[in-house]
Chains A and B, each alone.
Chain A
Amino acid sequence: MVVTERRAVELTGETLLGMYERMVLIRVFEETTMRQFADGQIPGFVHLYAGEEAVAVGVCTHLADSDFITSTHRGHGHCIAKGVDIAGMAAELMGRRTGICKGKGGSMHVADVEKGMLGANGIVGGGFPLACGAALTAKVHGTDAVTICFFGDGASNQGTFHESINLAAIWKLPVVFVCENNGYAEATTFAYHCSVADVATRAAGYGIPGVIVDGLDPLAMFSAAGDAIARARRGDGPTLIEAKTYRFYGHEEGDAATYRTAEEVEAHRRRDPLITFGAHLTGTGIATEADLDGMRARAQTTVDAAYAAGAAAPWPDPAETLDDVYVSYRGR
């Protein structure tokens, strides 16, 4: 197993600013979503990605629309990092007809296959086999497309984790498994639910590289993902990346997260990837504080407009309940 240090990565100022902009867009979307949920504008359940932005953005900065990702309950950040339309997401969370899934999926099933986003997923561990399938398509078609399978530490105990990594390893599928270890499977600690100290060590059981990365550092994530994605595109098979990260809010909105101490949350808040990455950008002269504030303000404008459009959009017609079960279905 390899444990990565934070490696110096050669990135242009434009790329770095683009990464920050995407991270701040995720943060603003999630904090606005939290308020919209509290205001009763969003039915059902929402699981916020705030705090984990460095993982999705560090990885997805390498990807094109022709690459695929599978996702989790906590999927908003993956969607935004992959370029899914913000207005379509907001309307979907609100259950409106203009939602990207026409109000059929909601927060836990936001998807945009055209963008290579194969869906947030309501089943913990549900995405592993799907990721293998998307990678199999690339292999059969002979393209260099890669598939990223995002999953949480809780999912690493599901059978699909074992089965899919083994299958990807023996077929050398172009897939990268990215564990977002935020320390908790719902309310259960990682220390309790996992038999090993690091999910990445499980890679040894499948004969593939396992890498531990600081998931609060977008540059470390970018570096580790770059190596794994290059390996996958070369046809050398999968990698298991474990991003040590943290969610700033509860498992879902409404969860007071009593299983975490205030000190623990505060310690991670001090390492907020937006603060540390922002300091890196200003410290290296790539951006000024005013530049970063401007990006946040633009993100807020974008997200506010998305939610305003969603609030003004029609509800689906109840008759639409019957649509989209099948492409075609004769009779009963």
Chain B
Amino acid sequence: MATVATRTLTYAEAVNEAIRISMRQDPNVILLGEDIAGGADVDHLVDDEAWGGALGVTKGLVQEFGRGRVLDTPITESAFIGAAVGAAATGLRPIAELMFVDFFGVCMDQIFDQGAKLRYMFGGKARCPLVIRTTIGAGLNAAAHHSGCHYSVFTHMPGIKCVAPSTPADAKGLLLAAIRDDDLVLFFEHKLLYGLSGEVPEGDESIPLGTADVKRVGNDVTIVAISRMVHQALEAAEQLAAEGIEAEVVDPRSLSPLDSDSILASVAKTHRLVIVDEDNPLCSVAHTIAAIVADEGFDSLDAPIRCVTAPHTPVPFSPPLEQAYIPSPEQIAAAVRAIL
């Protein structure tokens, strides 16, 4: 296998690069969202002064592709998310940005009743090749309307694929695959990871949806962790290594489809499982993974499965409360020790 050249990019830059590559390849790829270009109709903006999204992730794209393909929308999520569904069903391959996942409440019909169901309702005679990029995660003291994860809301829904990358390389590779995918994909970007740097392959190197990745090899316990929790789990694994416990950290990367085979294979090796999820626990991805392993991997287990999740509360504002909300490396390490 040929070695792919890499260089260091941030997670945000990796997302931007995947979009840029896709827009160069396919004129049907368009970008729409609130301030996605920034400053539409403001004549004095030149070069890269325009926002490029509320968090700057799409900065520079309007300069290359123009305002005909990078569309600032009003604050009107039902209309523009639904328009993206309608555009996808009629020949475009849109990428819509839902600024924060918490805003799904104002556009859910268009995602859930229209985008996710139209192919099925139409007997397979329609497609919805749409990517909805959105941001997730606590840690910026942004309180309960700008800090949730909520991907479990969408994994519950047939017709939607859900992807939650934890590294810059995964963000680029999975987004390339998501944009090329002919189904509706929700792409969950963790706000606290945007500044994370890592080696990212050059060029058009996509990663298939539905493939997990082992981020750390170990024999004593499997820790399945999602999105930013991968990094919390890796930190816990270092603490445990000092005690002679070798944890294997598995990142599903894609939550629907879910690569349960890789999770079951790891548990078959380690015989113990801890799942770490920043989302709320009830009907969560964490509990689904626990159910799958209990159902299909019960004979592999030497101990009860433990889930380390956010509590069943909205995300609080005050820094000590928010820190208590987010699963910590210490909590993860404690959960591991409890089942060894």
Contact = CB atoms under 8 A, between A and B. Distances in A.
Interface of A: 68, 70, 99-105, 109, 111-114, 118-119, 121-123, 126, 128-138, 140-141, 159-160, 163-164, 166-167, 170-171, 323-332
Contact of B210 (A133, A171, A327, A331): A331
Given A111-B126, A130-B110, 19 more contacts: A105-B122, A109-B122, A122-B113, A123-B113, A129-B78, A129-B81, A130-B114, A132-B86, A133-B92, A136-B87, A163-B79, A164-B78, A164-B79, A166-B74, A171-B71, A324-B123, A330-B210, A331-B259, A332-B260
A103 B71 CA distance: 37
Contacts of B120: 104, 324-325
7 contacts: A119-B118, A133-B82, A133-B87, A136-B83, A163-B78, A166-B79, A323-B124
A285 B165 CA distance: 71
A175 B159 CA distance: 28
Given A123-B109, A331-B257, A326 B85 contact: no
B23 to A, nearest CB: 12
B89 interface: yes
Nearest to B84: A133
A133 B94 CA distance: 10
A327 B122 contact: no
A324 B116 CA distance: 11
Interface of B: 28, 30, 68-69, 71, 73-74, 76, 78-92, 94, 109-110, 113-114, 118-127, 158-159, 161, 181-183, 208-211, 256-261, 292
Given A133-B89, A140-B69, A170-B74, A119 B122 contact: yes
A113 B74 CA distance: 28
Contacts of B210: 329-331
Given A325-B120, A327-B127, A134 B182 contact: no
A122 B76 CA distance: 22
B78 A160 contact: yes
A68 B89 CA distance: 11
A113 B126 contact: yes
Contact of A99 (B123, B159, B161): B123
B123 A167 contact: no
Contact of B76 (A109, A133, A141, A167): A167
Given A111-B125, A167-B79, A167-B80, A325 B86 contact: no
A143 B120 CA distance: 28
Nearest to B254: A330
Contact of A332 (B28, B30, B91, B258): B258
A126 B89 contact: no
Nearest to B75: A163
Contacts of A123: 109, 113-114
A122 B112 CA distance: 12
A267 to B, nearest CB: 36
Contacts of B69: 140
A104 B121 contact: yes
B122 A330 contact: no
A331 B88 CA distance: 24
Contacts of B86: 70, 118, 129-137
B121 A126 contact: no
A105 B88 CA distance: 20
A128 B79 contact: yes
Nearest to B182: A327
Given A104-B123, A130-B114, A330-B208, A167 B73 contact: yes
Contact of B122 (A113, A138, A159, A166): A113
Nearest to A327: B182
Contacts of A102: 123-124
B27 to A, nearest CB: 8
A137 B93 CA distance: 10
A126 B112 CA distance: 11
Of A130, A159, A160, most B-chain CB atoms within 10 Å:
A130
A109 B89 contact: no
Given A166-B76, A327-B183, A331-B210, A109 B114 contact: no
Given A133-B90, A140-B69, A105 B123 contact: yes
A329 B257 contact: yes
A160 B114 CA distance: 13
Nearest to A324: B124
Contacts of A329: 161, 183, 210, 257
B258 A331 contact: yes
Please provide the 10 A-B residue pairs with the shortest distance between their CB atoms, ordered closest to farther. Answer: A133-B86, A129-B82, A324-B124, A102-B123, A330-B210, A101-B123, A130-B86, A163-B79, A327-B182, A133-B83
A174 to B, nearest CB: 12
A118 B68 CA distance: 24
Contacts of A68: 90
Contact of A129 (B91, B110, B260): B110
Contacts of A101: 121-123, 125
Contact of A326 (B92, B121, B159): B159
B14 to A, nearest CB: 22
Contacts of B74: 163, 166-167, 170
Contacts of B121: 101, 104-105, 109, 111, 119
B92 A330 contact: no
A329 B160 CA distance: 10
Contacts of A330: 208-211, 257, 259
B225 to A, nearest CB: 19
Contacts of B28: 140
A327 B129 CA distance: 9
Contact of B79 (A109, A160, A324): A160
Contacts of B85: 129-130, 133
Contacts of A130: 82-83, 85-86, 89, 110, 114
Contacts of A141: 91-92
A114 B124 CA distance: 12
Nearest to A122: B113
Contacts of B181: 327-328
